[in-house]
Amino acid sequence: MTAPISLYGHKVLVTGSARGLGESFVRALVQAGARVAISDVLHERGQALAQQLGPSACYVPMDLLDPTAIEAGVAEAAGRLGGLDGLINNAAVTNSGGKYFNEIAIDTWDRVMQVNVRGTWLVTRAAHPHLKASGRGRVVNLASDTALWGAPRLLAYVASKGAVISMTHALARELGGDGITVNAIAPGLTLVEATEYVPQDRHDHYMQGRAITRAQLPADVNAAALFLLSQGSGFITGQVLPVNGGFVMN
């Protein structure tokens, strides 16, 4: 199948991309002609994916809880790809799923914020010089439609993704002068390993509320990410695009 958008020659770092939605992005990017740095804490899976995809992909270990590892990982990715002109901030943890707001441990809250919010900031900060030097920098943040409709029993994650949306707006203004666009995608409940814990009633809630009444798959999100990394999106920045079958509509 031919990729809907060509990213031939683009060099993209995707965090949290050894499995799930991140893996789907990586595969779509390679198909679209990009060279991709896969990064994750799942080292064996990341290395296996890079090996499977061949010379267009490499694996770079990166733990978003460790600022030093982030700096080193971004530097290695840029070095191995020969620069960066795209970044997908996909890595995230949920950890608070199924718990009411007063059942979440403080350590859990802090971990979610450190990975999802601080990690997104630090990866973007480390990638900024490379994105600026490329002259066509693109940042795509993964938010979530849970932050748009206020999903219950998921507060730490919802709050973190709300922060990612706000960061997207502010970073778009700060980085616009460097020719870098910053946008976010807000997927709905997607069938990946990370959502296997989600109870059936939440799946039913989404299914009943979508305009397109089927399960959401990782492939449903790929085209939005590819477009926001492309030259054609050069005058679009600071935007949040819900990709959820019409469960949330702007």
Per-residue pLDDT tens digits for 184-220: 999 988 877 777 677 788 888 888 889 898 888 889 9
More confident residue, 197 or 175: 175
pLDDT over 70 at 2, yes or no: no
How confident is the model over 26-36, as a mean pLDDT?
Answer: 97
Residue 40 pLDDT:
97
Contacts with 25 (C-beta within 8 Å, 6 or more apart), sequence order? 14, 17, 88, 90, 221, 222, 225
Residue 35 pLDDT:
98
Residue 9 DSSP label: T
| Residue-range domain boundaries for the chain | 11-243
Query: How far from the centroid of its chain's Cα atoms is residue 151's Cα?
Result: 19
Residue 3 pLDDT:
54
Q: Name the catalytic one among 8, 59, 100, 157.
A: 157
**Mean pLDDT over each residue of the chain, to the nearest integer:** 94
Fold of 11-243: Rossmann fold (3.40.50)
pLDDT tens digits, residue range 10-22? 999 999 999 999 9
Kind of pairing, strands 57-61 and 11-15?
unpaired
CA torsion, ordered 191, 87, 225, 92, to nearest 10 deg: 20
Predicted confidence band of residue 43 (pLDDT cuts 50, 70, 90): very high
pLDDT tens digits, residue range 127-172? 999 999 999 999 999 999 999 999 999 999 999 999 999 999 999 9
- Phi and psi of 16, rounded to 5°? 60, 45
* 8 carries an active-site annotation: no
pLDDT tens digits, residue range 106-135? 999 999 999 999 999 999 999 999 999 999
Q: Compute the distance between CA of residue 96 and CA of residue 161 in angstroms, rounded to an integer.
A: 13
Q: Compute the distance between CA of residue 230 and CA of residue 127 in angstroms, rounded to an integer.
A: 17
The structure tokens listed for 99 are 């718990």
pLDDT over 90 at 64, yes or no: yes
CA torsion, ordered 89, 92, 98, 102, to nearest 10 deg: -100
Predicted confidence band of residue 102 (pLDDT cuts 50, 70, 90): very high
Share of the chain above pLDDT 70, in %: 98
pLDDT over 90 at 97, yes or no: no
pLDDT over 50 at 1, yes or no: no
Burial annotation 127-147 (CB, 10 A radius, 16+ → b, else e): bbebbbebeebbbbbbbbbbb
HSE-up of 18 (CA within 13 Å, CB side)? 16
More confident residue, 64 or 97: 64
| In contact, 87 and 124? CB cutoff 8 Å | yes
